[in-house]
Amino acid sequence: GQQLNQSPQSMFIQEGEDVSMNCTSSSIFNTWLWYKQDPGEGPVLLIALYKAGELTSNGRLTAQFGITRKDSFLNISASIPSDVGIYFCAGSNYGQNFVFGPGTRLSVLP
């Protein structure tokens, strides 16, 4: 079946640093989604990407839909303590067959 890989699995950064994480797939998706999950809560949608090559920002977050449609990256600029959490990527095709990556665990040191 389809699988997504996320890297890195975990990262420890200093407050104020920029963060970059990515997601790759063995197959094509026409939608890429990035979510953040805090402990004990459900995933919250951060950014949705619908077109190959699309670059979208949401505040300090920027995500891109790879031109091959098999990858996506998420950047966080000037990290702050509340950025701590698990970041999941997900791919889907026409609203069906959602596949999630295993997550990147982000820790921000003051």
Partner 1 sequence: NAGVMQNPRHLVRRRGQEARLRCSPMKGHSHVYWYRQLPEEGLKFMVYLQKENIIDESGMPKERFSAEFPKEGPSILRIQQVVRGDSAAYFCASSPIPTSGDGVGTQYFGPGTRLTVL
Distance CA 15, CA 35 (A): 21
Q: Which of 16, 18, 20, 45 is the binder for partner 1 (CB under 8 A)?
A: 45
Distance CA 38, CA 86 (A): 7
- The reply to whether 44 sits near partner 1 by the rule CB under 8 A is yes
Element (H, E) at 97: strand 96-100
Q: Which of 34, 63, 74, 101 is the binder for partner 1 (CB under 8 A)?
A: 101
Pattern 48-67, binding to partner 1, x per CB under 8 A? x-x-----------------
CB of residue 65 to partner 1, shortest distance in Å? 12
CB of residue 68 to partner 1, shortest distance in Å? 18
Query: CA-based Rg of the chain, rounded to a whole angstrom?
Result: 13
Residue 3 DSSP SS3: coil
8 A C-beta contact, residue 2 and residue 91? yes
- The binding site for partner 1 (CB under 8 A) comprises 30-31, 33, 35, 40-45, 48, 50, 88, 90, 92-103
